[in-house]
Structure 1
Amino acid sequence: MADLMKNKTVVVTGVGVGLGVEVATAHFEEGANVVIAARSADRIEKVAAELDPTGKRVLAHVADINDDQSCAALIDAAVKRFGSVDALVQVAAFEDAWGGLFDADLDKWGKAYDTNVIGALRILRAAVPAIKAAGGGSIVLIGTQSAFKPAMPQAGYAASKGALLSTMYYLADELGPDKIRVNTVIPSWMWGPNVEMLVDYRAQKGDTTREAVLDEIAGKFPLRRIADDREVADATVFFNSDLSRAITGQHLMVNCGEMSR
């Protein structure tokens, strides 16, 4: 175990499967106390038990970023348990906003914005006073490459994440004087449970192999592969650690070179 995050407390929202779990794991392995949150108790309690059977450095707490009181209770629980909050990784998101102009469910577009932008602001409103009280720290938001490179039918999700990226620039400017940095990690394809199922489905449907499907997706990427969930999670550790102490208001694409901007 390294110690990039030693003696720091990190709150991670959206810990279900895939990226949220990997973000929590990556910070824990770098020495952090980790508070993991999601709307379901069963899943986060299982993750907490697997991550730290002693229970000394991991706290599972049910929370909904769309509810102000729930956000406040999450941060209060973190401070009560570990004494401070030094960083937040906002993973929780609503992704089910598919379709183009005429076939999209616009109510779901609204829900994507409400969760991915307004929900993010709700948890930040709760967390920022605690991070400021700790002497400053870091906030990491999760974006999507589809906000830069159209990938139908992800328009609604991408639009909400594009709005979140714009919001980040203002947050970095506003919170900088309080020594709070705000950055965004931008993944594209991420090899994890969800993409693995999709690739297997495409292989079965097309009567081909997993390797052939992966080559179709990533064969022209400079690194010739898809980044995995842990590699995206490692970028959040970088932003939360002192290695990026002079970096704020930035986005970092973790995409094996698929595109750069």
Structure 2
Amino acid sequence: MTSQLLLDKVVLITGASSGIGAAAARVFAREGAIVVLAARRKDRLAELVDELRRAGQRAAYVVSDVAVAEQAAQAVEFAVSEYGRLDCAFNNAGIGGDRTPLHLMQDDVYDSVMDINVRGVWNCLRPEIAAMLAGGGGSIVNNSSVAGLVAIPAAAPYIASKHAVVGFTRAAADEYARQGIRVNAIAPGTTRSEITADWFARNPGLEDLVNSLTPQGRSAAPEEIAETAAWLLSDRCPFLTGAVVPVDGGFVNQ
């Protein structure tokens, strides 16, 4: 039997109440992790933790808005106080924003996308790294997007935000490599999550168009993205840091 990837690792997951984050909670817990789930929706977090515990897995949750620095820090503090350390973190929380031409984009859309997708990662990285330095090392995966590697139409703030996540990943990886902290990112392609479902609902025909541009001809299940994050967080790739791994059905390879 193959050993579990994340056996006994204490892992914080942000944006854990739905989509890729909820899938990550299930995948990481199945791989032996002690998962600490953070998001804004208490009811969903409670339901998911109850599901995991009924399956005999170890899980807890903390209500946290990553756009607020104090709440992001409190999520890390909760993990450390509950389990004595923080081994890994999956900075997954994010939003998609509107699909609107750049010259028509409103400031409030820009602000909300940047607050969650960029400031949220910034707010999480600082206390996570501090906790891992105190614990002798760790592993972090940031959730970017293929939009962090290439441009897509009518989504300028989202593209800028996901490029910033790539920049944070590379900067932190370089800065803390000698202190035992690995920092990588994933760049998912189109994934069947609430964000993309909302985009597709507001833009008829978009899903078929996106799938036609993907060599595999389909979108990903959230679990497929979570599986890659689990491997990156694990000790199976100890010499890998500063990488941005596309999980996109070949989209950026064209």
Structure 1: gaps of 5 or more residues: 207-212
Residue 185 of structure 2 corresponds to which residue in structure 1?
184
Residue 134 of structure 2 corresponds to which residue in structure 1?
133
Distance 1:201 1:125 in 2: 36
Distance 2:241 2:127 in 1: 20
Q: How much has 1:175 moved relative to structure 2?
A: 1.4
Alpha carbon RMSD of aligned pairs, Å?
2.4
Residue 243 of structure 2 corresponds to which residue in structure 1?
250
Q: How much has 1:159 moved relative to structure 2?
A: 0.8
For residues 101 and 161 of structure 1, do their structure 2 counterparts lie closer, same or farther at Cα, with a shift above 3 Å needed? same
Alignment of 1:115-194 (within 5 A): 115-194=116-195
Q: How much has 1:219 moved relative to structure 2?
A: 4.2
Q: Does structure 1 residue 75 correspond to structure 2 residue 76? A: yes
Structure 2: gaps of 5 or more residues: none
Q: Match for 2:143: what amino acid? A: I
For residues 73 and 217 of structure 1, do their structure 2 counterparts lie closer, same or farther at Cα, with a shift above 3 Å needed? closer
Secondary structure of 1:244's aligned partner:
coil
Distance 2:220 2:110 in 1: 27
- Structure with the greater alpha carbon radius of gyration: 1
Residue 90 of structure 2 corresponds to which residue in structure 1?
89
Q: How much identity, in percent, do the aligned residues show?
A: 29
Q: Match for 1:127: what amino acid? A: E
Q: How much has 1:200 moved relative to structure 2?
A: 7.4
Distance 1:12 1:229 in 2: 14
Q: Does structure 1 residue 241 correspond to structure 2 residue 234? A: yes
Q: How much has 1:69 moved relative to structure 2?
A: 2.1
Alignment of 1:177-216 (within 5 A): 177-195=178-196, 216=209
Q: Match for 1:14: what amino acid? A: G
Q: How much has 1:51 moved relative to structure 2?
A: 1.7
Q: How much has 1:13 moved relative to structure 2?
A: 0.4
Structure 2 contact 96–195 (Cα < 8 Å) conserved: no
Residue 221 of structure 2 corresponds to which residue in structure 1?
228
- Structure 1 window deviating more from structure 2 (106-115 vs 235-244): it is 106-115
Q: How much has 1:11 moved relative to structure 2?
A: 0.1
Q: How much has 1:67 moved relative to structure 2?
A: 2.0
Q: How much has 1:164 moved relative to structure 2?
A: 1.7
Secondary structure of 2:67's aligned partner:
coil
Residue 104 of structure 1 corresponds to which residue in structure 2?
105
Residue 44 of structure 1 corresponds to which residue in structure 2?
45
Secondary structure of 2:152's aligned partner:
coil
Q: How much has 1:149 moved relative to structure 2?
A: 3.0
Deviation string 1:32-80 (CA, Å, 9 cap, x unpaired) is: 0000001121111111111222786100111111222212221121112
Structure 1 contact 12–35 (Cα < 8 Å) conserved: yes
Distance 1:197 1:97 in 2: 10
Q: How much has 1:7 moved relative to structure 2?
A: 1.1
Distance 1:248 1:260 in 2: 21
Secondary structure of 2:6's aligned partner:
coil
Structure 1 contact 86–138 (Cα < 8 Å) conserved: yes
Task: Give TM-score scaled by structure 1 length.
Answer: 0.87
Q: Does structure 1 residue 31 correspond to structure 2 residue 32? A: yes
Distance 2:111 2:216 in 1: 36
- Structure 1 window deviating more from structure 2 (216-225 vs 172-181): it is 216-225
Give the total of aligned pairs: 253
Residue 210 of structure 1 corresponds to which residue in structure 2?
none
Residue 209 of structure 1 corresponds to which residue in structure 2?
none
- Structure 1 window deviating more from structure 2 (221-230 vs 44-53): it is 221-230
Distance 1:150 1:127 in 2: 30
- Structure 1 window deviating more from structure 2 (76-85 vs 64-73): it is 64-73
Distance 1:102 1:199 in 2: 22
